């Protein structure tokens, strides 16, 4: 380890056995050490021995609690501060030289002011602490689509999670040294004071600064901060897409596998869809689903004009409540060992527990560590999480490590809409598909701080994550439609349509394979559809509904469209798009106006 003196005028740290040959990285680490004043510096190599040492330290100081070794070996519980349980979008900034480049979809601060504000918070904040230097790779270590970063943090909890979520340690450092470039991420939990909490992004500098939070998306800087906010900016300049999407492979009875990327807002079923298990009849017929990723997708055009995708993450940071043997048996199977749970309840014999878990157990202690009282609070926080390696998933696809990525046949957008939006429809072409994604609406969930159940526009499920002006982002999407491009078909789904009684009309979960089968049929040209002004819808006979009992109301609302309601929706979409001003691409406005005319 590198020890540094505690005088204020510390000199830069000389490269040592734990440092790096890359001068730019050494210099940055030294600069941060002078600013933050740690007692020691640890360069993380990602080894088992290092991880065990970190875990043992956190068990000793109470940062982690060991769970039942018989039922959940090598698994741990972390309880975060009660005021630090979700992303804080109102404290998340994109700091570009020009405010218009950040766009109205982001909170903006001038870079010089943002750096000054953050550096004042960071000054001396690691006194008495260890400063961890985490080199990591987003994506397969040898993939040309991958990008690397280094996170500096004072949280061993962050190190343990980054080890599960990224390719972290010596191999990543070797790639960083070869390439000479990396995203800089500086994080400190600070005092966990909500009044001293900010997450600042400097996309033009490939830099992230996060202070005052230990929560996943605010502290695991490889995740939303790098893989979406910074990477979306990189992707625009380099001709690819960084998206808030799951990736799954669907193998049909003929042995052909189609890969689908799907964008849903957080807590709207991405993980459930990524790990879908088809109903028994489909399994008997030979259908299989393979999990490539459950949250983030980086796509780049290949030589054949198709989009090829990688999952830049190596693990799952999933929402625990609602995960059950019915909703997601594959996720539940992942969590039987080698997992970190955050803000869940525990049973009397120290097993993790959350609302919706159907294992016959009952909680004894809630997520705050107090005796469980359902009148006081739920056992698990609504945004409680699990972190686990993707390779633990029974449906894990070995193609997740393919350096070339997987070819995408279809892109799916969707959200929570209790009314109006049918079960599934297909966009008529790429431009229409971009409009469908750009105008996505969804009811808010507990994944972000604020009110739950409020309908808001969430384009491509990227509202909290796009690192630049949405108008420019939509233009970037449109730019992929070039001569020779063989782009995926685009669909929209809504698993959450409700009937007049307030209950869901579609069973969802494994039965969503019925919708995916129709999509693949549309890709291959074997499935029929009914053309409507909003897109191509399946007729009731175009989906395999064998074994499902759907009421007349369900069939009408799931497979029909309401002309008057959609006319009002498209008018609202036009107003939304025009709010972005002159940067909004004319092609998207023309498409919106075309649909309005076709609706009469």
- Give residue-wise pLDDT tens across range 377-394: 999 999 999 999 999 999
Number of domains in the chain: 2
pLDDT of 255 reads: 96
Average pLDDT value for residue range 420-424: 97
| 8 has a pLDDT exceeding 60 | no
User: 268 catalytic, yes or no?
Assistant: yes
Give the C-alpha separation, 343 to 346, whole Å: 10
CATH number of the domain where residue 469 is located: 3.90.228.20
Which stretches within 415-500 are classed as H helix?
430-438, 470-478
- Reading phi first (left if > 0) and then psi (alpha if -120 to 50, else beta), residue 25 is in alpha
pLDDT of 448 reads: 59
| 533 has a pLDDT exceeding 50 | yes
Give the C-alpha separation, 514 to 390, whole Å: 25
Q: Is residue 143 part of a domain?
A: yes
Identify the domain boundary among 219, 239, 259: 239
Distance of CA 321 to CAs 231, 388, 413, Å? 29, 16, 23
| 32 has a pLDDT exceeding 90 | yes
| 587 has a pLDDT exceeding 70 | yes
pLDDT of 92 reads: 97
Average pLDDT value for residue range 258-287: 94
| 267 has a pLDDT exceeding 90 | no
pLDDT band at 451 (very low <50, low <70, confident <90, very high): low
Whether residue 200 is found in the same domain as residue 289: no
* Nearest-10 crossing angle of helices 430-438, 470-478: 160
Q: Strands 167-168, 147-153: parallel, antiparallel or unpaired by DSSP?
A: unpaired
| 361 has a pLDDT exceeding 70 | yes
Q: Is residue 389 part of a domain?
A: no
Range of the domain at 52: 2-72+87-239
Q: Is residue 341 part of a domain?
A: no
Whether residue 203 is found in the same domain as residue 248: no
* In contact, 432 and 258? CB cutoff 8 Å: no
Q: Closest Cα to residue 175, out of 131, 140, 202? A: 140
Give the C-alpha separation, 298 to 227, whole Å: 8
Give the C-alpha separation, 353 to 399, whole Å: 32
Identify the domain boundary among 179, 206, 239: 239
Whether residue 536 is found in the same domain as residue 577: yes
DSSP one-letter code for 515: H
Q: Is residue 250 part of a domain?
A: yes
Q: Give the burial string for 22-41 (b: 16+ CB within 10 Å, else e).
A: beebbebbbebbbbbbbeeb
Q: Is 62 helix (H, G, I), strand (E, B) or coil?
A: coil
Whether residue 484 is found in the same domain as residue 540: yes
- Give residue-wise pLDDT tens across range 67-113: 999 999 999 999 999 999 998 999 999 999 999 999 999 999 999 99
Give the C-alpha separation, 352 to 345, whole Å: 6
Average pLDDT value for residue range 549-564: 96
Catalytic pick among 268, 297, 334, 393: 268
| 10 has a pLDDT exceeding 80 | no
pLDDT band at 6 (very low <50, low <70, confident <90, very high): very low
- Reading phi first (left if > 0) and then psi (alpha if -120 to 50, else beta), residue 515 is in alpha
Q: In whole numbers, what is the pLDDT of the chain averaged over residues? A: 94
Give the C-alpha separation, 249 to 229, whole Å: 26
Q: Is residue 91 part of a domain?
A: yes
- Give residue-wise pLDDT tens across range 278-321: 999 999 999 999 999 999 999 999 999 999 999 999 999 999 99
pLDDT of 502 reads: 94
Average pLDDT value for residue range 328-353: 97
In percent, the amount of the chain with pLDDT more than 90 equals 92
C-alpha neighbours within 13 Å on the C-beta side of residue 321: 19
Whether residue 159 is found in the same domain as residue 276: no
Whether residue 300 is found in the same domain as residue 212: no
CATH number of the domain where residue 212 is located: 3.40.449.10
* In contact, 340 and 78? CB cutoff 8 Å: yes
CB contact set of 195 (below 8 Å; sequence gap of 6+): none
Whether residue 173 is found in the same domain as residue 227: yes
| 499 has a pLDDT exceeding 50 | yes
Identify the domain boundary among 214, 239, 264: 239
| 445 has a pLDDT exceeding 80 | no
pLDDT of 444 reads: 72
Q: Is 309 helix (H, G, I), strand (E, B) or coil?
A: strand
Whether residue 437 is found in the same domain as residue 559: yes
| 537 has a pLDDT exceeding 70 | yes
Whether residue 404 is found in the same domain as residue 472: yes
Q: Is 188 helix (H, G, I), strand (E, B) or coil?
A: strand
Q: Is residue 535 part of a domain?
A: yes
Distance of CA 370 to CAs 77, 157, 363, 365, 382, Å? 14, 22, 11, 5, 16
Indicate the Cα dihedral angle 525, 311, 87, 233, nearest 10°: -90
Whether residue 311 is found in the same domain as residue 232: no
In percent, the amount of the chain with pLDDT more than 70 equals 95
Q: Is residue 587 part of a domain?
A: yes
Whether residue 227 is found in the same domain as residue 253: no
Q: Is residue 102 part of a domain?
A: yes
Whether residue 169 is found in the same domain as residue 275: no
pLDDT band at 447 (very low <50, low <70, confident <90, very high): low
- Give residue-wise pLDDT tens across range 220-248: 999 999 999 999 999 999 999 999 999 99
């Amino acid at each position: 380890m590198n020890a540094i003196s505690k005088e204020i005028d510390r000199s830069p740290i000389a490269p040592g056995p734990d440092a790096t040959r890359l001068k730019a990285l050494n210099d940055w680490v030294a600069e941060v050490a002078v600013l933050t004043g740690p007692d020691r510096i640890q360069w993380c190599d990602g080894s088992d021995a290092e991880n065990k040492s970190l875990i043992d330290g956190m068990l000793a100081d109470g940062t982690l609690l060991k769970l039942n070794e018989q039922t959940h070996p090598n698994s741990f519980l972390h309880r975060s501060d009660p005021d630090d349980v979700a992303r804080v979008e109102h404290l998340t900034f994109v700091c570009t030289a020009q405010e218009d480049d950040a766009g109205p979809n982001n909170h903006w601060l001038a870079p010089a002011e943002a750096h000054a504000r953050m550096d004042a918070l960071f000054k001396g904040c690691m006194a008495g602490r260890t400063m961890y230097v985490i080199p990591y790779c987003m994506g397969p270590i040898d993939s040309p689509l991958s990008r690397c970063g280094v996170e500096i943090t004072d949280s061993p909890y962050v190190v343990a999670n980054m080890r599960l979520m990224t390719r972290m340690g010596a191999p990543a450092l070797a790639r960083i040294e070869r390439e000479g470039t990396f995203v800089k991420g500086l994080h400190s939990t600070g005092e966990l004071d909500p009044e001293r909490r900010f997450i600042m992004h400097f996309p033009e500098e490939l830099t992230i600064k996060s202070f005052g939070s230990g929560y996943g998306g605010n502290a695991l800087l490889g995740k939303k901060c790098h893989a979406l906010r910074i990477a979306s900016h990189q992707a625009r300049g380099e001709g690819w897409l960084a998206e808030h999407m799951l990736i799954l492979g669907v193998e049909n009875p003929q042995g052909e596998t189609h890969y689908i990327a799907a964008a849903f807002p957080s807590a709207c079923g991405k993980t459930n869809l990524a790990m879908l298990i088809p109903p028994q009849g489909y399994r008997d017929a030979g259908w299989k689903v393979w999990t490539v990723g459950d949250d983030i997708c980086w796509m780049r055009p290949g030589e054949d004009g198709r989009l090829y995708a990688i999952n830049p993450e190596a693990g799952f940071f999933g929402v625990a409540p609602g995960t059950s043997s019915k909703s997601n048996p594959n996720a539940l199977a992942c969590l039987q060992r080698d997992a970190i749970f955050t803000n869940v309840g525990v049973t009397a014999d120290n097993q993790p527990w959350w609302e919706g878990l159907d294992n016959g157990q009952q909680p004894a202690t809630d997520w705050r560590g107090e005796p469980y009282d359902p009148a006081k609070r739920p056992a698990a926080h609504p945004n409680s999480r699990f972190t686990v390696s993707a390779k633990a998933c029974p449906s894990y696809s070995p193609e997740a490590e393919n350096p070339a990525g997987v070819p995408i046949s279809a892109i799916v957008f969707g959200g929570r809409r209790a009314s109006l939006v049918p079960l599934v429809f297909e966009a008529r072409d790429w431009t229409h598909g971009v409009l469908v994604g750009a105008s996505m609406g969804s009811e808010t969930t507990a994944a972000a701080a604020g009110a739950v159940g409020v309908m808001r526009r969430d384009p491509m499920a990227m509202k909290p994550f796009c690192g630049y002006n949405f108008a420019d982002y939509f233009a970037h999407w449109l730019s992929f439609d070039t001569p020779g491009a063989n782009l995926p078909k685009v669909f929209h789904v809504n698993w959450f349509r409700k009937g007049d009684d307030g209950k869901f009309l579609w069973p969802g979960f494994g039965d969503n394979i019925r919708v995916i089968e129709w999509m693949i049929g549309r890709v291959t040209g074997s499935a029929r559809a009914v053309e409507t002004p909003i897109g191509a819808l399946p007729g009731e006979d175009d989906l395999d509904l064998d074994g499902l009992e759907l009421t007349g109301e369900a069939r009408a609302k799931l497979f029909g469209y309401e002309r008057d309601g959609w006319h009002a929706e498209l008018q609202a979409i036009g107003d939304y798009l025009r709010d972005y001003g002159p940067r909004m691409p004319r092609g998207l406005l023309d498409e919106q106006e075309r649909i309005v005319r076709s609706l009469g």
